[in-house]
Amino acid sequence: VSKPVYSRDTGGPIAFRFRSDNVAPVSAEILHALANANHGTAAPYGNDEWTALLQRRFSELFEREVDVFPVATGTAANALSVASIARPWGGIYCHELAHIHKTEGGATEAFTGGAKLVALPGRDCKLDPSALTEAVLRAERGARYAPQPDAVSITQASEHGTVYTLEEIAAIGKCARDAAIQVHMDGARFANSLVTLGCPPAEATWRRGVDILSFGATKNGGMAADAIVVFNRTLAEPLSYWLRRAGQTWSKMRFAAAQLIAYIEDDLYLRLASKANARAKRLGQGLAALPGVRLVAPVQANLVLAEMPEPAIELLVAAGVRFARYPGSVIRLVTHFDCTESEVDEFIGLARRSIASAAGDSEDEQ
């Protein structure tokens, strides 16, 4: 039987490299940790020694006792975190472009039993605390026909790759406390945001009012494991039931736990995210210097949103490059820990040539 061959370039020259951080491989350290966990037997459903160690390691990392629950996906982390807070008649405030609102197929609504997402505006894809305050004030508490405020969810780093400052997180936290609602943070790219903030994880979460965190790992070197980190420990019990109902109580939990332990050991998560962020910075700077290109948002994590002449985008697509496209001739490029500088430069070169030849084409037409 011949072994399968996995080539770094099976997707074409740079076809999928900036499509998403989900295209990235697994970090060597995490693969190694999986191999190390792969001996003998271990109790199932999280009653094993790796999962116990995971609780201790995350409690050390966050400088307080936390409850940690591995899950398979970021969507599960978000939907089940919010389900542990919100009542079926509850209202969950989020940015109008939030992943839970736009891109998770209604998972949060489904797992809360029908709670309503209330989408709010905010610059640079970040929820504006004053919009939140106003919405909470407008909520008709006690009215049976209106969603009852239960939670606010913010995405760190945001869907546009911007990062909430500590003051901004604190402002959301204060507003939530005043309104007696709880704060969920979608941290699918939490490591990338932490690198930018340059502070310990506790400072960017519970010390600023975050009650529960979707702690991403898969996009940043994990194989298939994210975690829910619970700071407000009253949420841990309902969450444990939700996890089971959602099929997220892994039978072979040790392998999820082993990934997450390795992910934070010796700050691996930050080292991997720093690389991704540095590549995004380089990509953003290179693209911004091209004629007709404008960055839609500051590059503060591992995402670059660039507005580009439409014909040039078409040429990139025709060349086989894949990326998310947004209205208004905007493309989204995502870097990850395994992106090299030369891949970034290759993309910038291709974009430069596409813009030049698109401009040449339109001049021919005049």
Ligand X SMILES: Cc1ncc(COP(=O)(O)O)c(C=O)c1O
Q: Which stretch binds ligand X (CB under 6 A): 8-16, 73-81, 196-204, 313-321?
A: 73-81
Contact call for residue 186 and ligand X (CB under 6 A): yes
The nearer residue to ligand X, 42 or 210, going by C-beta atoms, is 210
**Who contacts 280 (Cβ-Cβ below 8 Å, separation ≥6)?**
161, 299, 301, 302, 303, 304, 333, 334, 335
Cα separation, 51 vs 56, in Å, equals: 9
To ligand X, the closest distance from the beta carbon of 308 in angstroms equals 21
The nearer residue to ligand X, 57 or 99, going by C-beta atoms, is 99
Cα separation, 49 vs 1, in Å, equals: 36
Contact call for residue 48 and ligand X (CB under 6 A): no
To ligand X, the closest distance from the beta carbon of 118 in angstroms equals 18
Among 94, 152, 188, 225, binds ligand X (CB under 6 A): 188
The nearer residue to ligand X, 82 or 132, going by C-beta atoms, is 82
Contact call for residue 159 and ligand X (CB under 6 A): yes
Phi, psi torsion values for 131, nearest 5 degrees: -65, -35
Of 201-220, binders to ligand X (CB under 6 A) are 218
The nearer residue to ligand X, 188 or 333, going by C-beta atoms, is 188
E strands of the chain, at which residues? Answer: 67-71, 90-95, 116-120, 148-155, 182-187, 212-215, 226-230, 294-295, 303-307, 324-326, 330-334
Among 27, 108, 148, 155, binds ligand X (CB under 6 A): 155
To ligand X, the closest distance from the beta carbon of 192 in angstroms equals 10
Q: Cis peptide before 33, with omega less than 30 degrees from 0?
A: no
Say if residues 320 and 15 touch (Cβ distance below 8 Å).
yes
Cα separation, 20 vs 188, in Å, equals: 12
Say if residues 159 and 98 touch (Cβ distance below 8 Å).
yes
Contact call for residue 73 and ligand X (CB under 6 A): yes
The nearer residue to ligand X, 104 or 211, going by C-beta atoms, is 104
**Who contacts 84 (Cβ-Cβ below 8 Å, separation ≥6)?**
212, 230, 235, 236, 238, 239, 242
To ligand X, the closest distance from the beta carbon of 309 in angstroms equals 27
Among 27, 51, 75, 108, binds ligand X (CB under 6 A): 75
The nearer residue to ligand X, 279 or 332, going by C-beta atoms, is 332
Contact call for residue 182 and ligand X (CB under 6 A): no
Contact call for residue 259 and ligand X (CB under 6 A): no
The nearer residue to ligand X, 111 or 315, going by C-beta atoms, is 111
* Beta-carbon count within 10 A of 39 CB: 7
Contact call for residue 74 and ligand X (CB under 6 A): yes
CB-based burial, 146-158: b 16+ in 10 Å, e otherwise: ebbbbbbbbbbbb
The nearer residue to ligand X, 155 or 248, going by C-beta atoms, is 155
Total residues binding ligand X (CB under 6 A): 10
Cα separation, 80 vs 111, in Å, equals: 7
Closest CA to 160 of 289, 272, 357, 326: 326
To ligand X, the closest distance from the beta carbon of 27 in angstroms equals 17
Contact call for residue 193 and ligand X (CB under 6 A): no
Residue numbers at the binding site for ligand X (CB under 6 A): 73-75, 78, 99, 155, 159, 186, 188, 218
